[in-house]
Structure 1
Amino acid sequence: MHGHDSTQPVRATIWVRGKVQEVGFRWWTRARALEIGLTGYTSNLGDGRVQVVAEGSQPDCERLLALLRGPGTPGRVTGVTEIWGPSRDGYDGFALR
């Protein structure tokens, strides 16, 4: 993001594929997001993916993305895709949906 102020909050919408439902993946993601200081939510999708919406600084969102792509996740992640956008209304905490 050229000229983007890294202190401005952004929103990362992330889709995680693999064996990521019924393995505590959302709880794990929420714990990591809270440790980093992000707000947002995570939810199971009907097609077996987990969706994560995180808001915070871009470096903090990148940290969560790196963790989701890393070796320490519960279950088995086969792919992570994300789209970036401006932070919208903000969330209160980090919810499981």
Structure 2
Amino acid sequence: MGMVVPVCGYSSNFQQVDLGYRDLNEMQAKAEQYNRSNPALWEERMRLITYTSLFRTDVQKRIGGFDEDFNPGAYDDDAISFRIRRMGYKLVLAADTYVHHFGS
């Protein structure tokens, strides 16, 4: 794996789940119930939206970070996904892990 991204409450690319909370305390409680390691819910992807992403250290060093020719939120996700896959690493959506993310 080169990069892993959790699901969240606000995303495109089918990376969004609705936990149905009304405030931060409820969000914390529901996220705690949701976040149970289950490798059966890890899905290899062609690209990932990188709002909260984890990179292998060696991969991060080799790719040199995000391409600054792209504005944040304007295909920088696609560019970094392509570069990681081109190096032979997998992109994984960890659908067993929820992180709060609200809009851009």
> Given the two structures, how large is their TM-score scaled by the length of structure 1?
0.32
Greater RCO (Cα-Cα under 8 Å, separation 6 or more): 2
> Given the two structures, how large is their TM-score scaled by the length of structure 2?
0.31
From the two aligned structures, give the one with the greater strand fraction.
Answer: 1
* Larger gyration radius, structure 1 or structure 2: 2
